[in-house]
Amino acid sequence: MQDIDVLIEHRVTQIDPQEKRIEVIDLSKSETQCFSYDKLIIATGGRSRRLNLPGSNAMNIFTLKDIQDGIRIKTYIDETRPKRVSVLGGGFIGLEMCEAFRSRGIETFLFCRRDLPAGNLEREISERILKELQESGVHFLPNQEPVAFHLNGHGEVTSVETTKGEYSTDMVLMAIGVVPNVEMAREAGIELGKTGAIRTDFSQKTNLKDIYTAGDCCEVFNLISQDWVHTPLGDIANKQGRVAGENAAGGKATFHGVVGSAAFKVFELEVAFTGLGFQVAKRYGFDAESQMIEAESKVGYMPGSKRMLIKLIFDQRNGRLLGAQMAGKEGVARRINALAVALHQKMTIDEISRLDFAYAPPFSAPLDPILIAAEQAGKKLHQERVHGDKS
Partner 1 sequence: MPRKEKLLIIGGSAAGPSAAARAKRVNPELEVTLFEQGRFISYGS
Chain-centroid distance of CA 289 in Å reads 24
Helix (H, G, I), strand (E, B) or coil at 45: coil
Q: How far is CA 352 from CA 272, 314, 356, 357, 383, in A?
A: 18, 12, 9, 10, 18
Chain-centroid distance of CA 154 in Å reads 35
CB of 343 to partner 1, least distance (A): 23
CB of 248 to partner 1, least distance (A): 5
Closest CB to partner 1 among residues 17, 323: 17
Whole-number Å distance between alpha carbons of 325 and 278: 10
CB of 19 to partner 1, least distance (A): 13
Whole-number Å distance between alpha carbons of 47 and 66: 9
Closest CB to partner 1 among residues 236, 326: 236
| Distance from the first to the final alpha carbon of the chain | 65
Closest CB to partner 1 among residues 69, 145: 69
- Which residue, 92, 96, 88, 87, is CA-closest to 118? 92
Closest CB to partner 1 among residues 160, 237: 237
CB of 175 to partner 1, least distance (A): 16
CB of 250 to partner 1, least distance (A): 6
Closest CB to partner 1 among residues 35, 167: 35
Beta strands 84-88; 171-174: pairing state: parallel
For 10, counting Cβ atoms within 10 Å of its Cβ (0-12 exposed, 13-18 middle, 19+ buried), the class is middle
Closest CB to partner 1 among residues 32, 134: 32
- Residues near partner 1 (CB under 8 A): 1-12, 15, 22, 24, 27, 35-45, 66-68, 184, 212, 214-217, 234, 237-246, 248-251
Closest CB to partner 1 among residues 33, 383: 33
- Which residue, 222, 227, 213, is CA-closest to 181? 213
Closest CB to partner 1 among residues 4, 358: 4
Helix (H, G, I), strand (E, B) or coil at 284: coil
Contact by Cβ (8 Å): 43, 213: yes
CB of 185 to partner 1, least distance (A): 9
Whole-number Å distance between alpha carbons of 71 and 94: 17
Closest CB to partner 1 among residues 255, 286: 255
CB of 7 to partner 1, least distance (A): 5
For 174, counting Cβ atoms within 10 Å of its Cβ (0-12 exposed, 13-18 middle, 19+ buried), the class is buried
CB under 8 Å to 293, separation ≥6 — which residues? 309, 310, 311, 369, 372, 373, 376
CB of 310 to partner 1, least distance (A): 30
Positive or negative: CA dihedral 143, 276, 326, 331 = negative
Closest CB to partner 1 among residues 197, 372: 197
Contact by Cβ (8 Å): 151, 55: yes
CB of 3 to partner 1, least distance (A): 7
CB of 204 to partner 1, least distance (A): 9
